[in-house]
Amino acid sequence: MGMKQQLAAMMMMAAMSNPGEHRTYKEPKIKKPIKKIIPNGLTEFFYGENSLWALNQKTADKKAIKEGYINQ
């Protein structure tokens, strides 16, 4: 047997010798706040309660029409 196999066998035997002491540790899940990834050069435009990101007002208006935020 190699050194790693001997170590693994010893750890397994040690774990089996104390069945009442066996505990598992679960790390608490921490939710991180979601960051909006905004590419460089974009500006946020607002249409009522809705908003969208675009390079300029003209493209923002096109996107707003496509999304149905404004009518033309």
10-23 tens-digit pLDDT = 777 776 666 565 56
Burial (Cβ within 10 Å: 0-12, 13-18, ≥19) of residue 71: exposed
Query: Which are the contacts of 43, defined by CB distance < 8 A and separation ≥ 6?
Result: 53, 54, 55, 56, 60
Q: How far apart are CA 72 and CA 64, in angstroms?
A: 10
- 8 A C-beta contact, residue 57 and residue 45: yes
pLDDT tens-digit profile of 21-48? 556 777 777 777 777 777 788 999 999 9
Sketch the domain layout of the chain as residue ranges: 3-67
